[in-house]
Amino acid sequence: MARRKIAVIGAGPGGLAAAMMLSARGFNVQVFEKQPYLGGRTSSFTKKGYTFDLGPTFFSMPHILEEVFESSGRRLDDYVTLKELDPMYSLSFDDMTIRATRDREKMKRNIDSLFPGNGESYERFMNDTRKKMNALMPILQNKHASMLDYLRFRSLKALPQLELGKSLHDVLSNYFDDERLKLSFTFQSKYLGMSPWECPGAFSILSFMEHEYGVFHPIGGLNQLTKSMAKVIEEHGGEIHTGTGVKKLLINDKRTVTGLELDDGDLVEVDDVVMNADFAQGMSDLIDDSKRKKFKNVHLEKKKYSCSTFMIYAGMNQQVNLDHHTILFSQDYKKNVEEITKTKLLSADPSIYVQNPSITDSTLAPNGKSALYLLAPVPNNFSEINWENEKGHFRDLILDQVEKKTGLKELDKMIEVEEILTPYDWEHKKHVYKGATFNLAHNLGQMMYFRPHNKFNELDHLWLVGGGTHPGSGLPTIFESARITANLLTEKYKLEEVQA
């Protein structure tokens, strides 16, 4: 039988992971990427000797990607050097800094020294959440393509450890009284672009995952993960066309996807299409509104989306004395989160994440210098913020706050290379719907059965991967989405071969 042809739209981590597994299984895979570079939000750019990861900087649960490599006949170790970070990160509050480590005893001692008596609660949190994680993993790895899958999940709802009716903040209140400690185990909801007060309690697995499995840095940056997958695709005979955008899907009258029309007008006929482009943006750009049912533009506008991020990438002319990952909490974190997610205003005191990877990895900046990455979560583009007007002022505010909260002085004078990315840029330059950098929100109404399915329901021969489908945003889950989609496609054609 002729090799089945698969086109993947987008060379983000989801698209590349799916393409890697499918090409290893003998499919004829072509990846079409609009940008002149690969990796999507997990790419990098280099300026005057400084290399910056564009988006992800935290890599946890490497075993999932290791398994994805193994199922593609390769070993992740042969492509990427991972370095475990200790401390995993520093959490800086007005009056104290908590340095988080995976070393259980050391972490317990850290907590007890700052919050006497709370070390035991940390142990209890870890033990309870391990059970929750074991209950949740099969749910996340399951395809949730049908109501039956979901009902199976609903019956699990009875399991008390999933705590689905509670917010993440409520869950942590069962363990800690002190707000700073609660925030140390709930700020991870920002990875989903959500507030700890709204994020489902089940997501306490996010901080658990870090404390259980560690936080890693791939030498060269997280972009090395996508670059490595691209190598494997090509080793298996797959093709990656960068700078080759897809204009629209070719769909026949019977709602069957038959191929792609590229930006240059070329037509590509394939058996199946895997869409990795940002879900809502891809729907709006690539499929006529009339061919969609539940995902017409009016419906997409009513969905809930994650926050956005304001980014400063700064090449510093000297080494910066900060841990690899530092989170500087706003004095009134709850107000800051409400401004980001509800009132959609720019905070006067934003929380800021600073990555100083040069402390771990000498490949990212010229000798004796640092490639700094600063991120402030901000409202997505459902806000009325005019970023062209605000960006200079907000950039100065961030640098000012970093100086105040870290003790670093005259940052402006140290900067010799600078790039800024606003929510407007995420939407208009990076093709992220409404600049919602972490995709569709992860409220219960948009998860599992209620998230767009890996096998897209409304059109035949269209499949989804990436943060906009099940199980959701964040690299480990995105790799799971690729695994689910690649397995569904493989099963489909195996079955057809058996029946033929």
Would you count residue 34 as binding ligand FAD (CB under 6 A)?
A: yes
Q: What is the largest CA-CA distance in the chain?
A: 71
Q: Which stretch binds ligand FAD (CB under 6 A): 6-14, 20-28, 297-305, 336-344?
A: 6-14
Nearer to ligand FAD, 263 or 491 (CB): 263
Would you count residue 361 as binding ligand FAD (CB under 6 A)?
A: no
Residues 473, 476, 479, CA angle at the centre, nearest 5°? 90
First to last CA, the chain: 10
Could you give the count of Cα atoms lying within 13 Å of 241 in the half-sphere of its Cβ?
15
Output helix, strand, coil percentages for the chain, rounded to the nearest 5.
40, 20, 40
CB 199 within 8 A of CB 167: yes
Nearer to ligand FAD, 111 or 447 (CB): 447
Give SS3 for 146.
coil
Nearer to ligand FAD, 315 or 435 (CB): 435
Pairwise CA distance, residues 294 & 275, whole Å: 17
Residues 116, 117, 122, CA angle at the centre, nearest 5°? 110
Letters for 303-322 (x = contact with ligand FAD by CB under 6 A, - = none) are: ------x-------------
Would you count residue 438 as binding ligand FAD (CB under 6 A)?
A: yes
Q: What is the nearest approach in angstroms of ligand FAD to the Cβ of residue 38?
A: 7
Which residue's C-beta sits nearest to ligand FAD? 12
Peptide bond into 476 cis (omega under 30): no
Q: Which of 11, 136, 205, 257 binds ligand FAD (CB under 6 A)?
A: 11
In the block, tokens 């926050």 appear at 307
Would you count residue 206 as binding ligand FAD (CB under 6 A)?
A: no
CB 320 within 8 A of CB 356: yes
Q: What is the nearest approach in angstroms of ligand FAD to the Cβ of residue 279?
A: 8
Q: What is the nearest approach in angstroms of ligand FAD to the Cβ of residue 130?
A: 21
Letters for 456-475 (x = contact with ligand FAD by CB under 6 A, - = none) are: ----------xx-----xxx
Q: What is the nearest approach in angstroms of ligand FAD to the Cβ of residue 281?
A: 6
Site for ligand FAD in 276-295 (CB under 6 A): 276-278, 282, 285-286
Total number of residues that touch ligand FAD (CB under 6 A): 37
Pairwise CA distance, residues 98 & 405, whole Å: 14
Nearer to ligand FAD, 108 or 324 (CB): 324
Each residue of 200-226: b (16+ CB within 10 Å) or e? Answer: bbbbbbbbbbbbbbbbbbbebbbbbbb
Site for ligand FAD in 212-231 (CB under 6 A): none
Contacting residues toward ligand FAD, per CB under 6 A = 9-15, 32-35, 40-42, 55-58, 245-246, 276-278, 282, 285-286, 309, 375, 431, 437-438, 466-467, 473-475, 478
